[in-house]
C-alpha cells in the first residue's frame, strides 16, 4: 500500500499537523511519503511561491492597494470559495496545491491523506477524477467557514478530531462520511519516569536572572496569541500566594504577555521561549499543573501531552475537554471567571492524582491513532474499488 500524506510545513516546524505527519509516516504499513513545501530527510518537496517571487510580491502589493483582502474579509461568510484569497499565504497554498499534481503522479499512491485544507482538497478532487485515487481530508480549523469549505471538497472520508466538530460537520455536510480520530501524543517521549529539571536548571532557562521558583509550578505552552487567554491565566495565578508560572512558546502577543507576567508576578514568572521536543517533554515532567484557558481549541495537543507526562490539566469546561480530560486527567472549570480558574489551579496542585492523567492519555497514543488511520484507509480503499 502506498500512502501520500499532504502537509504544508512538515520538515520545517513541528506543530500539531507536522507531528501528525511525522508520527503516521513511521507507523503506516507499506510505503508512505510526506509531500511538503520543505525538503528534509523525511519529506518530499513540492514547489510553491516564495515571498521573493515577483508574482507573489505583485499580488500582495495590489491586494493592499485596492484593499481587496479587507473587502473579502468583510464578506467572507458568503464569498464564493474560489475567491477566498484574503490572507497573504493563501496564494502560496493555491500554487502549492496545483504543483502537487506532478510529484503525486510520479509516486502514484493508492490513497492520499490531505491535512492542508480547501485548496488541496479541491485539487485532489480533480486528481481523483483523473486517476481514480481516493483521498481523505483531515480537519483542524474548528467550527467555522474554513472547516466547512474543506469538507465540501467532498473527500471520500473526512476526519474530525473531536466529538463536537464531528457533530458540527455532520449537520453542514450530511453526505460526506466522517470519522472521529484525534491527534496523538508520544507516550515514550513524555514518560513521567524520565528525568526532570532541577530548579537551578530551570532558572538558567528563564528570561530573567534569579527567578523565584516555588511549588507549585504552573505551565502553559502554546502559541502566544490573544485568543489563548494567557493574560487571564496570569491574572488568576497572581491571586495565588505561592507558585511560579512558566510560559513556553512564541507569538504575536509575546512582549505583552511577558510584560504582564513580570508586572503581576515579578520573579515568580518565567518565560523560556521555544523549546526542542525533548526539552519540552522534560519541562512538562518538571511542572505540577498545566493550564491553557482558551475557549476554542480545534483539538489541543498540549492537553494530551501534559497528561502523558502525568501532569493534571486545568481547562475551560466544554464538550471536547470533557471527552479529552475527563475526571482523571484534570479539572475543568468556568475559565471566564478568574477566581474559579485560580481555585481550580490550587486544587489541581494539591490533589493526589496518582497516575490518572497518564492512564487517561493512553487513549491518544500514536500507536493507537495510527491503527485507526490504517483501518480507515483500508475501508476507503475497499469502498472506492467497488
CB atoms within 10 A of CB 215: 11
The proportion of the chain whose per-residue pLDDT surpasses 90, expressed as a percent, equals: 66
pLDDT tens track for 259-274: 999 999 999 999 999 9
Residue pair 359/330 in contact by the 8 Å Cβ criterion: no
Q: Which three cell numbers stand for residue 358?
A: 497518564
> Per-residue pLDDT averaged across 309-320, rounded?
96
Compute CA distances 146 → 7, 115, 142, whole Å.
16, 13, 8
Q: Which three cell numbers stand for residue 28?
A: 503506516
CB atoms within 10 A of CB 350: 10
Q: Are domains 2-47+99-184+365-384 and 199-364 of this chain identical in fold?
A: yes
- Tell me the average pLDDT of the chain: 87
User: What is the β-pairing status of strands 313-316 and 289-292?
Assistant: parallel
In the predicted structure, residue 233 carries a pLDDT above the cut 70: yes
pLDDT at 37 (0 to 100)? 66
How does residue 77 score in pLDDT terms, banded at 50, 70 and 90?
A: very low
Produce one character per residue of 15-42: b if its CB has 16 or more CB atoms within 10 Å, e if not. Answer: eebbbbbbbbbeebeeebbbbbbbeeee
User: What is the β-pairing status of strands 244-248 and 217-221?
Assistant: parallel
In 3D, which of 349, 345, 346, 247 has the Cα closest to residue 288? Answer: 349
pLDDT at 144 (0 to 100)? 83
pLDDT at 51 (0 to 100)? 45
pLDDT at 89 (0 to 100)? 61
In 3D, which of 334, 323, 324, 331 has the Cα closest to residue 351? Answer: 331
pLDDT at 356 (0 to 100)? 97
In the predicted structure, residue 78 carries a pLDDT above the cut 50: no
How does residue 76 score in pLDDT terms, banded at 50, 70 and 90?
A: very low
Q: Is the dihedral of CA 102, 103, 105, 111 positive or negative?
A: negative
pLDDT at 14 (0 to 100)? 67
> Per-residue pLDDT averaged across 72-88, rounded?
48
pLDDT at 307 (0 to 100)? 98
pLDDT tens track for 272-302: 999 998 999 999 999 999 999 999 888 889 9
The architecture that CATH gives domain 2-47+99-184+365-384 is 3-Layer(aba) Sandwich (3.40)
Residue 59 CB partners (closer than 8 Å, separation 6+): 85, 91
In the predicted structure, residue 18 carries a pLDDT above the cut 90: no
Give this prediction's pTM. 0.85
The proportion of the chain whose per-residue pLDDT surpasses 70, expressed as a percent, equals: 84
In the predicted structure, residue 68 carries a pLDDT above the cut 80: no
Burial class (CB in 10 A: 0-12, 13-18, 19+), 196: middle
CATH topology of domain 199-364: Rossmann fold (3.40.50)
Burial class (CB in 10 A: 0-12, 13-18, 19+), 250: middle
Question: How do the domains of the chain map onto residue ranges?
Answer: 2-47+99-184+365-384, 199-364
In the predicted structure, residue 82 carries a pLDDT above the cut 60: no
Residue pair 267/210 in contact by the 8 Å Cβ criterion: yes
Amino acid at each position: 500500500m502506498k500512502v501520500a500524506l499532504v502537509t504544508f510545513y512538515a520538515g520545517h516546524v513541528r506543530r500539531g499537523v507536522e507531528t501528525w505527519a511525522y508520527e503516521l509516516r513511521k507507523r503506516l504499513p507499506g510505503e508512505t511519503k510526506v509531500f511538503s513545501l520543505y525538503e528534509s530527510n523525511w519529506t518530499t518537496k513540492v514547489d510553491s511561491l516564495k515571498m521573493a517571487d515577483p508574482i507573489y510580491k505583485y499580488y500582495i502589493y495590489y491586494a493592499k492597494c485596492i484593499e481587496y483582502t479587507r473587502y473579502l474579509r468583510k464578506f467572507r461568510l458568503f464569498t464564493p470559495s474560489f475567491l477566498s484569497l484574503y490572507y497573504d499565504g493563501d496564494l502560496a497554498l493555491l500554487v502549492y496545491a496545483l504543483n502537487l499534481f506532478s510529484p503525486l503522479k510520479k509516486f502514484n499512491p493508492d490513497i492520499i491523506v490531505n491535512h492542508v485544507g480547501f485548496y488541496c482538497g479541491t485539487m485532489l478532487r480533480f486528481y481523483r477524477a483523473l486517476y481514480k485515487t481516493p483521498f481523505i481530508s483531515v480537519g483542524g480549523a474548528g467550527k467555522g467557514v474554513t472547516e466547512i469549505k474543506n469538507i465540501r471538497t467532498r473527500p471520500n472520508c473526512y476526519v474530525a478530531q473531536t466529538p463536537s466538530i464531528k457533530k458540527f460537520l455532520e449537520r453542514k455536510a450530511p453526505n460526506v462520511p466522517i470519522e472521529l480520530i484525534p491527534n496523538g501524543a508520544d507516550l515514550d517521549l513524555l514518560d513521567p519516569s524520565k528525568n526532570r529539571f532541577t530548579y537551578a536548571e530551570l532558572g538558567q532557562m528563564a528570561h530573567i536572572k534569579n527567578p523565584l521558583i516555588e511549588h507549585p509550578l504552573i505551565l502553559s505552552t502554546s502559541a502566544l496569541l490573544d485568543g489563548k487567554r494567557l493574560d487571564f491565566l496570569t491574572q488568576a495565578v497572581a491571586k495565588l500566594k505561592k507558585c511560579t508560572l512558566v510560559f513556553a512558546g512564541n507569538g504575536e502577543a509575546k512582549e505583552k504577555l511577558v510584560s504582564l507576567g513580570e508586572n503581576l508576578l515579578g520573579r515568580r514568572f518565567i518565560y523560556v521561549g521555544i523549546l526542542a521536543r525533548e526539552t519540552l517533554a522534560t519541562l512538562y515532567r518538571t511542572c505540577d499543573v498545566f493550564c491553557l484557558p482558551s475557549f476554542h481549541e480545534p483539538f489541543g495537543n498540549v492537553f494530551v501531552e501534559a497528561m502523558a507526562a502525568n501532569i493534571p490539566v486545568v481547562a475551560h469546561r466544554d464538550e471536547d475537554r470533557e471527552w479529552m480530560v475527563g475526571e482523571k486527567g484534570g479539572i475543568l472549570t468556568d475559565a471566564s471567571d478568574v477566581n474559579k480558574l485560580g481555585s481550580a489551579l490550587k486544587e489541581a496542585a494539591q490533589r493526589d492524582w496518582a497516575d490518572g492523567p497518564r492512564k487517561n492519555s493512553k487513549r491518544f497514543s500514536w500507536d493507537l491513532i495510527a491503527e485507526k488511520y490504517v483501518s480507515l484507509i483500508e475501508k476507503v480503499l475497499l469502498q472506492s474499488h467497488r
